Chains A and B, each alone.
Chain A
Amino acid sequence: MSSTTAMEVNIEARRILAVSISKLYASRTQRGGLRLHRSLLLSLVMKSARDIYHSSRESEALSGAQSTPEEPMDTSSTPELPERQPAPLSEKNSSETAVEESDNKVEDYDLDTTEDKENLSPARQSRKRRGKASAAPDFLPNKRARLEPGEERYAAPLTSCRVGAGESLAILSLNQIIPAF
């Protein structure tokens, strides 16, 4: 993939992610209650966009970009996205409970913006686990809040985490990232 088309795909993927997030947010206030099917489809689109975004970034990096592949959360690149708070997606994880309950979950998390990729295991990589809560936009702050105190619960060698830009960010599952915004 040439770097221009990778860039176009990149922009497209980010735009689709932004649209998806606004739809998820809007669906919270919609009448008729949580629409499970629609939320699931939205999360699948987001995952698709995320995967394509990462693979286009990889090919950008491979085709001669200077920046290191392991870039931390690039919060400056899309300033409009972090403004979309609070998290509509946490409610998908508890679709039978009230929306207010998931609001409380959001407030409990503290913003942890430090990168801690070493402690994240590829076992939680979402490639196979195509759950609803698995798209992780990398331009949002990294939230580790859902990790248990003992992070070693997923036993995997630390070195295997360093698998490239796309993979390491794919490890973070949506249920970690999304509740924070």
Chain B
Amino acid sequence: KTIKLWKISERDKRPEGYNLKEEDGRYRDPNTVTTLRVPVLRPMDLMVEASPRRVFANAHTYHINSISVNSDHETYLSADDLRINLWHLEITDRSFNIVDIKPANMEELTEVITAAEFHPDQCNTFVYSSSKGTIRLCDMRASALCDQHTKMFEEPEDPNNRSFFSEIISSISDVKFSHSGRYMMTRDYLSVKIWDLNMETRPVETYQVHEYLRSKLCSLYENDCIFDKFECCWNGNDSVVMTGSYNNFFRMFDRDYRQDVTFEASRENSKPRSVLKPRKISTGGKRKKDEISVDSLDFNKKILHTAWHPLDNIIAVATTNNLYIFQDKLN
């Protein structure tokens, strides 16, 4: 429930040759100094340092799920299950509450906020997603408290897919604006949806991440996997979207060419300079060679976090204990 701003810096040089200090830091007796020298910078092993610069505390009662810096680079929002607060980066002891969906009687609670993000260009606009599968777009110019949304994006539920777990799998785990600001992407348990900000009634594109899990929802509920929160991301020119799955698989969907591909992030498949081979999951009865059957998927190996470099084709993919960085094949 606390937010901290950190400065990350790299250090690959260090000064050597102080007059009053030994190399190990002990002070020299000034009487032993007979000559003076100018310290010089010598290379050292790269060190990455993180130092906390701001601590923003005591503004959230529930667990924070999102932080988003505004395009004005002065303010940012933080969202917990029921409230969204607006902060100034320089002011740590105060924040403004801009969304509050806490009901007067907690027994009436029907949905929580699951993710929130500022628009990439319009500093007055932000969206937040809910556990019911809706996304609300709010304009901070309309009022101080943005409980009244400007737009609400919701797709009607497919009655054929109704099950015990319909509510859980429609809960949105991540929402991301495209770089252009024209679209936004949401991730729910089984799919990725692309929404045009001008159309609230349904998404313009839907991609199935792992539809073969739909018949396994009961087991996934029992082993808690159905509560996993997957993130999603856009590539630099918004033509490809990426998200994670189980068995250390991650998926990319090319919006222009209508193609999708599955890759696996694992040590065995990821020798340096080797090219990732697309993976296939066999859903039908017959399993072809090199295909992986759904029952052999490891649900403890999940990729929840992925990121795409804003300009180049370099991606970062996080498994449980490792971070993988992949890039375009070099010729």
Q: Which residues of A come within 8 Å of B, CB atoms?
A: 12-13, 16, 19, 23, 32-33, 35-38, 40-41, 44-45, 48-49, 52, 92-96, 129-133, 173, 175
Contact = CB atoms under 8 A, between A and B. Distances in A.
29 contacts: A16-B221, A19-B221, A19-B222, A33-B63, A35-B63, A36-B62, A37-B81, A37-B112, A37-B114, A37-B131, A40-B110, A40-B111, A41-B131, A41-B171, A44-B168, A45-B165, A48-B167, A92-B107, A92-B109, A93-B107, A94-B106, A95-B62, A96-B61, A130-B110, A131-B108, A131-B109, A132-B106, A132-B109, A175-B107
Contact of A41 (B63, B106, B167, B222): B167
B106 A93 contact: yes
B64 to A, nearest CB: 12
A64 B227 CA distance: 40
B218 interface: yes
**Chain B: number of interface residues, binned into ranges:** 20 to 34
Nearest to B165: A45
Interface of B: 61-63, 81-82, 106-112, 114, 131, 163-168, 171, 218, 221-222, 224, 227
Contacts of B131: 37, 40-41
A132 to B, nearest CB: 5
B73 to A, nearest CB: 30
Contacts of B166: 48
A16 B227 CA distance: 15
B167 to A, nearest CB: 4
Classify the secondary structure of A's interface with B.
Answer: helix
Contact of B227 (A41, A44, A93, A175): A41
The 6 closest A-B pairs by CB, nearest first: A44-B167, A36-B81, A133-B107, A48-B164, A37-B112, A131-B108
A40 B108 contact: no
A132 B107 contact: yes
Contacts of B224: 23
Contacts of A40: 109-112, 131
B227 A13 contact: no
Contacts of B165: 45, 48
B189 to A, nearest CB: 11
A175 B108 CA distance: 11
Given A40-B109, A131-B108, A45 B167 contact: yes
Nearest to A32: B63
Nearest to A133: B107
Nearest to B109: A132
B221 A45 contact: yes
Nearest to A13: B164
Contacts of A33: 63
Nearest to B171: A41
Contacts of A96: 61
Given A41-B131, A41-B168, A129 B106 contact: no
Contacts of B222: 19
Nearest to B227: A38
B304 to A, nearest CB: 15
B109, B165, B166, B171 — most chain A CB neighbours (10 Å): B109
A13 to B, nearest CB: 7
